[in-house]
């Protein structure tokens, strides 16, 4: 079995996955027509360049602009349910059996929905997706760096009400420049007290100090963490505290967190003993799948199948979902791989 077929067939876990960055282009087009949202093109061929970031994207700030159209059509309960359900289908088609899907509810209230409405809608889509595909995992609520801290505090309060219904974590995302994590410390303290696990985007658009602050705020998972390598003390801090870096190589190249894909620190982190995982970040915006990312990690970054398998299991082990469910899945996956014919 060649690598492409092997990684496609592998049971996989994905932790760093944005809902609004993973909407099917055809769904954006249909929802826009239904809801009267103006689009820059009225056919898929010409719409795709507005939804998919090019490899020569200049920065994280430019990359984020490709989320604008999906967000514009994700402003109703039916739309939110649909895109969440469809993402579960797409994940299943990619061989993903455990996923944690994240999104920022404050971005979906422009047409009158409340934060509670938004979370309930995505949970409905998630439950339907789980039933249809057998997916395990949960939803992560994302706070935004450039919002006033009091708004993120109120978001944490609302998110905590759904801790027993499928919301498994609380996140911070957005352009890091000028928005250090520590500004939102109160929201994350509240989220932890309400039973939510903490994950923070850090070390992508800003340096190692951003990662240090995120760890100090209780983040068990650091999304990206590419620039943690700039300060050996921060990398050591992550190692000592068992913090995991959920990395997305294609995305990191597009946002210019790394200048060349070949320069990505994922293999180096792995060899240093850091906990690392592989994700897509945004399937549509980055025009990728998890199987594609695994293939790039093998062919461009030089990791072996066994090393990638270890990273995959680390994603499952490090997730926020129910431990018993993850343990059962781990046993199943290991059994499947061990039972596969030699050389496959």
Interval 105-131: pLDDT, tens:
999 999 999 999 999 999 999 999 999
Residue 141 confidence (pLDDT) above 90: yes
| CA atoms within 13 Å, Cβ hemisphere of 91 | 35
What is the pLDDT confidence band of residue 243, given thresholds at 50, 70 and 90?
very high
Q: Please, which residues have CB within 8 angstroms of residue 328's CB and are 6 or more apart in sequence?
A: none
Place of tokens 């979906």: 108
pLDDT (mean) for 195-220? 92
Q: How far is CA 175 from CA 65, 140, 211, 289, in A?
A: 11, 18, 14, 24
State yes or no: pLDDT of 342 exceeds 70: no
Q: Who has greater pLDDT, 344 or 17?
A: 17
* Closest residue by Cα to residue 32 from 63, 62, 65, 76: 76
Share of the chain above pLDDT 90, in %: 90
The CATH code of domain 3-339 reads 3.20.20.140
Give the mean pLDDT of the chain: 95
Q: What is the pLDDT of residue 100?
A: 98
The pLDDT, as a whole number, for residue 344 is: 54
pLDDT on residue 221:
97
What's the sign of the alpha-carbon dihedral 194, 97, 276, 322? positive
**Per-residue pLDDT reduced to its tens digit, 280-339:** 999 999 999 999 999 999 999 999 999 999 999 999 999 999 999 999 999 999 999 988
pLDDT, mean of residues 140-163: 97
Report the pLDDT value the prediction gives residue 179, as an integer from 0 to 100. 84
What average pLDDT does the segment 171-177 reach? 88
Closest by CA position to 71, among listed 101, 110, 42: 110
pLDDT at 178 over 90: no
Helix H or strand E segment including 232: helix 232-240
Question: What are the distances in angstroms from CA 121 to CA 58, 105, 124, 294?
Answer: 34, 11, 5, 31
**Catalytic: 204?**
yes
Is pTM beyond 0.85 here? yes
Instruction: Check 81, 100, 204, 223 and give the catalytic one.
Output: 204
Question: Two tokens at 5?
Answer: 């077929």
Helix (H) / strand (E) element for 63: namely helix 60-64
Give the tokens for residue 53: 């970031």
Exposed, middle or buried: residue 87 (CB in 10 Å: 0-12, 13-18, 19+)? buried
- Longest pairwise C-alpha distance within the chain: 56
User: Residue 341: its pLDDT value, please?
Assistant: 72
Residue from 304, 306, 325 nearest 316 by CA: 325
Is 161 a residue whose pLDDT tops 90? yes
Kindly state the average pLDDT of the residues 214-226.
95
């Amino acid at each position: 079995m060649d690598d492409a077929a092997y990684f496609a067939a592998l049971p996989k876990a994905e932790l760093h996955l944005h809902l609004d960055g993973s909407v099917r282009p055809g769904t954006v087009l249909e929802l826009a027509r239904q809801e009267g949202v103006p689009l820059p093109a009225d056919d898929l061929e010409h719409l795709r360049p507005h939804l998919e970031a090019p490899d020569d994207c200049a920065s994280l700030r430019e990359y984020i602009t490709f989320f604008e159209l999906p967000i514009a059509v994700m402003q109703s309960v039916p739309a939110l349910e649909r895109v969440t359900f469809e993402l579960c289908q797409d994940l299943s088609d990619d061989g993903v059996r455990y996923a944690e899907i994240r999104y920022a509810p404050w971005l979906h209230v422009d047409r009158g929905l409340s934060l509670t409405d938004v979370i309930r809608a995505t949970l409905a889509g998630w439950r339907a997706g789980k039933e249809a595909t057998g997916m395990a995992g949960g939803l992560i609520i994302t706070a935004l760096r450039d919002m006033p801290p009091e708004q993120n505090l109120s978001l944490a309060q609302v998110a905590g009400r759904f801790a027993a219904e499928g919301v498994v974590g609380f996140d911070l995302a957005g352009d890091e420049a000028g928005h250090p994590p520590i500004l939102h410390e109160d929201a994350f303290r509240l989220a932890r007290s309400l039973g939510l696990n903490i994950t923070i985007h850090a070390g992508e658009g800003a340096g190692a100090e951003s990662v240090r602050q995120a760890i100090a705020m209780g983040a068990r998972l650091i999304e990206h963490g590419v620039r943690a390598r700039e300060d050996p003390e921060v990398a050591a801090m992550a190692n000592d505290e068992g913090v995991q870096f959920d990395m997305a190589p294609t995305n990191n190249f597009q946002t210019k967190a790394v200048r060349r894909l070949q320069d990505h620190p994922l293999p180096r982190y792995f060899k240093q003993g850091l906990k690392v995982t592989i994700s897509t970040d945004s399937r549509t915006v980055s025009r990728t799948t998890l199987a594609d990312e695994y293939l790039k990690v093998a062919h461009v970054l030089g990791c072996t199948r066994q090393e990638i398998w270890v990273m995959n299991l680390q994603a499952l082990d490090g997730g926020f979902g129910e431990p018993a469910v993850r343990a059962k899945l781990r046993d199943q996956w290991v059994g499947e791989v061990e039972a596969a014919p030699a050389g496959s």
